[in-house]
A and B are shown apart, each in its own frame.
Chain A
Amino acid sequence: MSAIIRIRDLAREYRMGSELILALRGVTLEIHRNEYVAIMGPSGSGKSTMMNVLGCLDTPTAGEYWLNGEEVSRLSDDALARVRNREIGFVFQTFNLLPRATALHNVELPLVYAGVRARERRDRAAAALERVGLAQRMDHRPNELSGGQRQRVAIARALVNQPSILLADEPTGNLDSVTSEEIMEVFAGLHAAGQTVIMVTHEPDIAARAARRIVLRDGQVESDQVNREAAA
């Protein structure tokens, strides 16, 4: 099967002072290529931890995580960095662009750490910005762009190294409803073009766009359902 993500009995616990927090308690699931998945859950459900583990920003304390055929749950910091660079495309709620760099430079960043040479970097970054409709704004700094434009730059950056999964954390959280709509259209377009999209959100309207909805509660999967309306 084309399972791009395979998780088995994933657990993550950590110490907060004298307390032991069990953020994830045995999660098992698979996500396939070109799926559009929404991960939902209330505060404390473990969805942030889930996202961090999926994004290889964090490693589980137990269980297995197979990403694109590679077991990544016990990798070193350097190896994780490499995986993040190649396989994961992050899109954050607060955009997280470098404020003093141009849009082009921001998009180039993953390629810089991938060791791509300058000319190829420029070309690929420019192409990614074209895909999200921002070719005109290549040399603008983030403070010269609107919220929607900034998020598009972030999406272009997430795509530039052709990652296995696009991992979005409340991507419309800082946008108004009109702009949110535009951004969701962008994600829809990317999904239609073959990208695997995983979106963490607490908004049902946003989750409704995804074909599959996973709900977490207390560190475990409460429900995992195909969204018939969206899949149609």
Chain B
Amino acid sequence: MPLFEAVRLALRTIRAQKLKSFFSLVGVLIGVTFLIAVVSIVQGMNRYMIDRFANTLVGANTFEVRQRPSINMGHTTHETWLAWQRRPRISYDDADFVRERVRTPATFAKFCQDRVSVHYAGKLAKDVDLIGTEDSYFRIRNYEIVSGRAFTAQEVRAALPILVIGHEVAERLLPGVDPIGKEVQIGGLPYRIIGVVAEQGTLFGLSLDKFVVMPFSAQGRRLICPINILDALIVRTDDPVQMQLALAEAEAAMRSRRQLKPGEENNFAFQTAEGALGTWEKISRILFLALPGLVAISLVVGGIVIMNIMLMAVSERTREIGIRKALGARRRDILAQFVVESATLSAAGAVMGIGFGILLAFAVKGLTPLPAAVAPWSVAVGVLLGVTVGIVAGVYPASRASRLDPIVALRAE
């Protein structure tokens, strides 16, 4: 019997006993639903983490030279933390030295940051990040200036008290008003607004627009860093390969400057986008390892259910098998009939599972902040698993059916 016919016969048989067939394929259905939904969610999160999270916080092809890692999503022991605190901080001279020694083409920016409150005309914006940095910062962060302009290198050298503010600060303190030229107070000192940065959006629900940027040399710098001290030197390159080169050069420069002996650990740290992802990658790896395990369990159970249902079916249809053999069905015809029936049943379960999985993924996407992106490969794997489980589960019952003696089978109920 050609395959197409066998599948048609299988579908007819399955449709004839819809409820029973549904219960048979439930195990496979659940396994595949799980597969699709979890893969979609994890993939979506992965993409979100890489595109938005890492690149927003640290930037693509960018690294920072710091006293200690700034983004730490893992577990740090108290000892490690104390050790980090004891390290020397990055100084202006450290930054200049590194800048000189790194031959790979890159953009550099000194960087300091702390939380402050910003006052304007009796209004107060709290929890604003005050960033002290150089003119190159805006290029490094790809910040588009929508109003006014960024400050220049000369203005940094002149240590002018000027600010480029974030979208939310503008909205909060000067709604409906042109902020350019207005004066705000931070820590009792006045600053003049010269530019506004384009809206950046949110990250996991937190605003990315609550900041103001000033020249690192400006008078208020003591609010955020001691004199001559930086939180970081930001270095941006053109591509990942160059970033690795620049990082190596920066490390060599810092080690030389700190006079570290070979074998001695760095008493400084590099923060990269990949590093920020570190813990997420651990989590996602665990999820991705656990997932096949859960799917496998579900499918094994599903397969056992199908095998049992098929054994029952063979027993109930013994007479039918006898009739078919009497009319000329060979062993392989009967084997094929039941394996195809089993595989079709299982595949139907997988297809339904794919449907449910996609629905579940979209439900998660709609109801939680978690993003979800259905991965086409998971759909293909789902179908493949469905068919495979069906075939494997069906082989034993089909083999028993095929070996029935027609005379004996014809005498059955």
User: Which A residues have a C-beta under 8 Å from some C-beta of B?
Assistant: 52, 55, 57-58, 77-78, 81-82, 84-86, 90, 92, 96-98, 100, 109-110, 112-114, 118, 157, 161
Contact = CB atoms under 8 A, between A and B. Distances in A.
B330 A78 contact: yes
A55 B322 CA distance: 13
B330 A157 contact: no
A97 B5 CA distance: 19
Interface in B327-386: 327-333
B411 to A, nearest CB: 10
Contacts of A114: 328
B340 to A, nearest CB: 14
Contacts of B322: 96
13 contacts: A57-B326, A58-B407, A78-B331, A81-B333, A84-B326, A84-B327, A86-B328, A96-B410, A97-B323, A100-B12, A112-B5, A113-B327, A157-B327
B249 interface: no
Closest 10 A/B residue pairs (Cβ): A85-B328, A113-B328, A81-B330, A78-B330, A110-B327, A96-B323, A84-B328, A113-B329, A81-B328, A57-B407
A178 B332 CA distance: 42
Contacts of B323: 96-98, 109
Nearest to B320: A98
A163 B385 CA distance: 44
Where chain B touches its partner, the secondary structure class is helix
Interface in B51-108: none
Contacts of A55: 326
Contacts of B326: 55, 57, 84, 90, 96
A112 B322 CA distance: 16
Interface residues of B, number: 22
B319 interface: yes
Interface of B: 1, 5, 12-13, 16, 319-320, 322-333, 406-407, 410
A90 B322 CA distance: 12
A161 B328 CA distance: 11
Given A96-B323, A98-B323, A110-B328, A57 B1 contact: no
B373 to A, nearest CB: 43
Contacts of B319: 96
Given A52-B407, A100-B16, A112-B1, A77 B330 contact: yes
A57 B406 contact: yes
A92 B330 contact: no
Nearest to A117: B2
A92 B410 contact: yes
Given A57-B406, A58-B407, A98-B320, A109 B16 contact: no
B328 A82 contact: yes
A220 to B, nearest CB: 21
B407 A85 contact: no
Contacts of A96: 319, 322-323, 326, 410
A200 B323 CA distance: 18
Nearest to B403: A77
A127 to B, nearest CB: 18
A52 B325 CA distance: 13
B157 to A, nearest CB: 88
A47 B227 CA distance: 114
B320 to A, nearest CB: 6
Given A96-B319, A98-B320, A100-B16, A85 B406 contact: no
A214 to B, nearest CB: 21
A52 B323 CA distance: 13
Contacts of A82: 328, 330
